[in-house]
Amino acid sequence: MTDSEPEQNDSLAAMLAGPTPEIDVEEKEELFDLFGRAHVIPILNEFASASDPRRFTDLRSRLDIPPTTLTERLQELTDADFITRRSYDEIPPRVEYSATEKTTDLVPMFEYLCRWAVYHQ
């Protein structure tokens, strides 16, 4: 367990401790629209389960997503604060993407979804 994991678990526990909020689909339409776009869930899962930053080429080879689509999704997820983008002033250029707390808090959802999928096969 890393130093950041207890803090993450504490924030997640605090988030889950209160009453379950009523889900207003219309209010969350933008989020559900983002989650429904092609390849967003596999990209988020890749970041949620990763401890290290990911590079574009790594993501492309691991997820087999067309480069234009991957570029669009990474930009959308960056804009929505699910991942951060860091570029390095190097030759050749290097860009790394990392999960934010917003994404790492999705780990229990992905674990549950995997269990659900196995159960309903």
Residue 2 scores a pLDDT above 70: no
Q: Is residue 19 part of a domain?
A: no
Handedness of CA 17, 21, 25, 28 (dihedral sign): negative
- Residue 115's Cα: distance from chain center in Å? 18
Domain count, the chain: 1
HEC string of 26-70 equals CCCHHHHHHHHCCCHHHHHHHHHCCCCCEEHHHHHHHHCCCHHHH
Q: Is residue 88 part of a domain?
A: yes
Domain range enclosing 34: 26-119
What pTM value is reported for the model? Answer: 0.80
Q: In what order do the strands lie in the sheet with 54-55?
A: 54-55, 94-99, 83-88
Contact 77, 44 (CB under 8 A): yes
What is the rounded distance in angstroms from the CA atom of residue 79 to the CA atom of residue 31? Answer: 12
Long-range contact list for 59-65, CB < 8 A, 24+ apart?
Answer: 59/97, 63/39, 65/39
For 76-109, the pLDDT digits (tens) are: 999 999 999 999 999 999 999 999 999 999 999 9
The CATH number for 53's domain is 1.10.10.10
pLDDT at residue number 12? 61
Q: 95 by DSSP, 3-state: which?
A: strand
- Assign 13 a pLDDT band (cuts: 50, 70, 90): low
